[in-house]
Chain A
């Protein structure tokens, strides 16, 4: 699985972008998106997903159920 950003919630603040250890986050039309191919849920890097930890709006960076769980 991977994380995704709920576009309607995203303020476009960019806090998540530099924190992602996989460079999976980029800007698109004023808000940010996560590349599901690159996202590792921060497993192997940090105890908690960095985008979730830094995002100022609750429930904006969430698990994307469309993808299988990541395994290292």
Chain B
């Protein structure tokens, strides 16, 4: 334990960080709480006084990797797969398909009993001290397995009271369980809402199981949307923080999600996470088999940008497995099989966890300070130019990953406003091939970051560097081990200077592909 507490440099994590005040301020400005009339953001929506994203809300989300983009660079989460049953069928889900190498919701390697889950949580929390959040996200619907779900929460709240509890549901059974959710101090709930119009719902959900009956088509979708919105209202009335997940399905609900965004905002949702449809044919889902495509990276970003005027958007979701363990973007679930966990002699040491987390906070502060300093250099600049920059990182908010080892790139948008995290791209097939795999470089990496002007890496070989240059992407290693946001702003400033000096002509980059299929990172 002590060894882990000593060195922050050894944190196998991503990062970034602004200090709390800055974040608070930013949220207030950005969201226009109470100051921008009708279009104040969701967290300012209800009548619970001005500036609802008040300290108590920030306090709830600041170390939650799935609710705070900033936190996801520093803090880890885990899901326990205690809830296999589901009460609805979605066209993007196939429960028969299961694979250890897949990183998708609904996929797990093994189911756990609540007792096994509680032991696993202790084992993981002892090994990964920055693990602050336990979620139940299936692989079915947690509220279609209420006994198992709540028993798990009960056990964990007894043995590891510092861990935050959350759950993710389709919402059908939600109104029946709101009081129990409140009773177990579950303070984060995610509801997947893909539509508020039953005609659209009928294209997404073939059936639901409700009050001992199977409903189909429009009737099913109407019941589902009514229950989802009712559940959302009931939760927010009780002060439980709600995030809404939506799957973007081009041609079916893409435009409609703007309406969904308004509907959930007005009912008090705090954050909206629009995710791309995953529909590879080999997954055997209805959408996979009927050729329904997912969105491109720019289609997804454009929709997220459209909704951002209305409320906070989440862009760092990795659509993880129902038994994921670790930081978002990494998956350490293979280290914690039931067999391994049961054999572990677990010592839960809350003090050493606290000490470690205090170091993480220092790192967050340092990252924030670096960004602030760099932003001052940008002060007074105004430009319409916006560029995207891909970053290879393995944590702590630094450019600290080798190009060839990256299993994903984080995407930052640089503008005269500063640096903003806008997404991430998986490239895990390339790293499987190792360095110098020309074909994988072309097909995977360049397609994934084709909309970026530059890629920041800790190190890069000559071959990939030239291939990237040929594709018009600047491979940059001069910010190795520096803070990401500071580096992005510095690069952007130089970029503007070069345009001004006539050394460079700014070109709009094309689109990029969102990769699907097996997660094969080692």
Which of the 9-residue segments A10-18, A33-41, A63-71 touches chain B?
Answer: A10-18
Query: For chain A, what secondary structure do more than half of its interface residues adopt (helix, strand, loop), or is it mixed?
Result: loop
Q: How far is the CA of A19 from the CA of B212 in the complex (A)?
A: 8
Q: A12-B84, A13-B84 are in contact. Are A56 and B212 (CB under 8 A)?
A: no
Does B520 lie at the interface of the complex (its beta carbon under 8 Å from any beta carbon of A)?
no
Q: Are B87 and A54 in contact (CB under 8 A)?
A: yes
The proximity string for B residues 97-129 relative to A, scoring 1 for CB distances below 8 Å and 0 otherwise, is 010000000000001000000000000000000
From known contacts A57-B95, A57-B96, infer whether A14 and B85 are also in contact, taking CB-CB under 8 Å: yes
Q: Are the C-beta atoms of A47 and B140 separated by less than 8 Å?
A: no
Give Cα A9–Cα B96 distance, bound, in whole angstroms: 8
**A13 x B213 contact (CB < 8 A):** no
Q: Are A56 and B86 in contact (CB under 8 A)?
A: yes
Residues of B with C-beta under 8 A to A11: 84, 95-96, 98
Interface contact A56-B214, CB-CB below 8 Å: no
Q: Say yes or no: B213 contacts A48, CB within 8 Å.
A: yes
Which residues of A have CB within 8 Å of B214? Answer: 48, 52-54
Residues of A within 8 A of B209 (CB): 15, 53-54
Instruction: Judge whether A2 is part of the interface by a CB distance below 8 angstroms.
Output: no
Q: How far is the CA of A51 from the CA of B85 in the complex (A)?
A: 12
Give the secondary structure class of B's interface: loop
CA distance A18 to B209 in the complex (A): 13
Contact A15–B85 (Cβ < 8 Å): yes
Closest beta carbon of chain A to B156's beta carbon, Å: 21
Which residue of chain B is the closest to A9 with respect to CB atoms?
B96
Q: B89 at the A/B interface (Cβ < 8 Å)?
A: yes
Q: Mark A1-39, 1 if CB is under 8 A from B, else 0.
A: 000000001011111001100000000000000000000
Binary interface encoding of chain B residues 371-399 relative to chain A, with 1 for a CB under 8 A from any of its CBs, else 0 = 00000000000000000000000000000
Query: How distant is B99 from chain A, measured CB to nearest CB, in Å?
Result: 13
Given the interface pairs A54-B87, A56-B95, A57-B95, the reply to whether A15 lies near B140 with Cβ below 8 Å is yes
Contact, CB under 8 Å: B86 / A15: yes
The answer to whether A53 touches B95 (Cβ under 8 A) is: no
A18 to B173, CA, bound (A): 15
Known: A15-B140, A56-B89. 13 other contacts (CB 8 A): A11-B84, A12-B84, A13-B95, A14-B145, A15-B86, A15-B87, A46-B213, A52-B214, A53-B209, A53-B213, A54-B214, A56-B86, A57-B95
Where the two chains meet, the residues of A that have a C-beta atom closer than 8 Å to any C-beta of B are 9, 11-15, 18-19, 46-48, 50, 52-54, 56-57
Q: Which 3 A-B pairs have the closest CB atoms?
A: A15-B85, A53-B214, A13-B84
What are 8 residue pairs bridging A and B, where the CB atoms are less than 8 Å apart in the complex?
A11-B95, A13-B139, A14-B145, A15-B140, A15-B144, A46-B212, A48-B213, A50-B212
